[in-house]
Structure 1
Amino acid sequence: MKLAILTLTKGGYKTAQRVKKYMDVPVKIYTKDSFSGTLKNLVGELFQRYEYLLFIMATGIVVRVISPYLKDKTTDPGVMVMDEKGRFVISLLSGHLGGANAYTQKIAKSIGATPVITTASDVLDLISVDLLAKQLHCEIESLQKAKEVTADIVNKKRVGILSDISVDIPEKENIQIIKSKEIQDCDSVIYITHKIISDPFPRSVQLIPQNILVGIGCKRGTESKKMIQQLYEVFQDLEIHIKSLKKISSIDLKQDEKGILELGEYFKIPVEFIERRKIKRIENLFESSEFVKKSIGIGAVAEPCGYLISHGGKCLMKKRKKSGITLSIWKEK
C-alpha cells in the first residue's frame, strides 16, 4: 500500500483530509479513534505495510515511535512529518531510496506548504548515487561506496559516469558521462553496468541494472540448490553480476515445480510461467528436441521462455544443459 497518514488531533485530521484530496495514490488516515493499542505498536505494523508514512504531529513524538523499527535505508519506508496547520512538510527518513524527499515536495506543492529537505545533494541541487540508482532501477553494489562517491559530488570533486545504458541526467561541471579513456581524469567513478568489473577505479561504486532474464527447464523434482549453484556458475562464466537478475521464466507445466519456485524466492525475484501456446508460436526460432516435444508438446523451453520474457532481447547464452537443468540467459530489450 502507498501512503498512510497518522494524526492525533482534530486539526491534524482536517489537514490529513486536505492532503488526501490531492494525492493520486491510495491514502489511509489513522486517528486516535481508528486504532486500538499504542501509537508505537501501530507504527510497527504500518512500517511493514506502507511505502510512505506522513505524521501530522510533533517531530519529537515521531522520532520516538519510529526508532524501534528502523533497519536500513533500502527497506525503511519514506517518513515525513507535518505540522497541524500544514505549513511545513519535513522529509525525515529514507529521503532518496525511500522516496521521502520526492513525496515531501509533492505534498507541499499540493497544499501550498513549505518543503523541508536537509540532504546535502538536494540542497545543492545535485544528484546522489542512491537517487540515481532509484531513477535507473539499479541495485547498488555497496551503500558505503555510494556514500563516498556522493560525498565527492557534494564536495565538487570530479565524478565520471561510465554507463552501458542510456543515462539522462543534467550534467554538472563536476559530474559528467565519460568514456573509458577519460577515467584517469576523475576523482571517483560511477559504473552503470550489469557486467562484473574486474579492475574497478580505486574510488568508485557500481550501479547494477536489473535487466538480465533467465529461461529455465528442468527434470521434475530437481532441487533448488542445484539450480542456484548453476545460475551462479553461469553468471560467473558470462561475467554478469548476479544482482542484475530480474526474472526467471519457464513453461506453464512447471508452475508447481518446487525447485523453480524456491529459486525465485532465493533471489527475491518474480517467476513467470508461460503458456505452451505462446511458446509454440516462436519455438521454430530455436533448436528443438524431439524427446522434449514428445513429452510436453513443444521442442524447447529455456530459450523461448527467455526470449519471451526479455521481449525479444539480446541472447547472452543460448542454452546450457547440466544435471537435468537447462538455462538460457537474455538481456532485456
Structure 2
Amino acid sequence: MIRIIALTDAGQALGMRLQTLLPNSALHFKPKPFADTVQHFFREGDPLLFICATGIVMRTLAPVIESKLQDPPVLVLDELGRFVIPLLSGHEGGANQWGSEVAEAINAQLVMTTANAYLNPVYTLGMGCERDCPLEYLESLMLEAIETVGLQPDQIAGLYSIDIKADETHLIELAEKYQWPFMTYSADALKQVEPLLSTRSEYVFNTVGVYGVAESAALLGAQKLTHASPELCLNKIKNPKATCAVARAYQA
C-alpha cells in the first residue's frame, strides 16, 4: 500500500489528486501520533510519499532507517506539486523510477540527488508495430514519446526492436531520418529485462515470445550501450498500429 502523508490543507488537496492517480494508495492527513504512525508504515515496507518539508521526513524516519537494500522508497513533494524528490532507496528501492513516474503524472520537476545525477544518461527508444506500419504512425508516436519525457531526437542514442522487425521498412526509414542506429534483438535476449517491464501482455507473448516489445527493446538497448542497469523513463504508449517506450541507463 502506497502511503500518501500530507500535513497542510494544500498538501491534502494534492494528496487527494495523487490518490486518484496512484493505484493501491491511501491518503493520511495529519496522522496522529505522527512519528509512530509513519515509522510503522516504514517498518512494514510501505512506499511513502510525503507532502511536506524534507527536514520533517528525515527527523521522523531517522530512528528506523536501516539499509538502502531493505528500506522502502520514500518521495517528498512540496505542497504545490512543483517538485518530486526521491529521498530514500533511490536505486535499489525504486524511488528514482517511482519519482519519475509521479513527476510525469502531475507535470512536476524531478529533483535527483543520487549519484546518477552526476553521470551521463543514455536514452534509448524501443518500438513495436504491425507489419508494414506506415511511417506517419511510427513518427507521430515517437515524437509524442520523447516530448513526454522532455527529450529531443538528438538525445536518443538508438532505436531498438525485436528481430522479427529487422526488415521493417519504415522502422528502418525512421532511424535513418533521425540518424539513429537501428538494432534488433531476439526474444531470448529480450527476456533478460523482463522483470523491469511495467506491464506484461499475454497476447504479445503468445505472438512473438516476449511480454512487451517496445519496453524490452528500449531497456536492453540501454543496458547494452552502458553496461549498467537500465530503467524505463516512459512506459509503453501506443496508437492503433505501433507501441513505443523510452529507457535510460547511466554511464560515467
TM-score w.r.t. the length of structure 2 is 0.49
Q: Which has the higher contact order (CA 8 A, sep 6+)?
A: 2
- Structure of larger gyration radius: 1
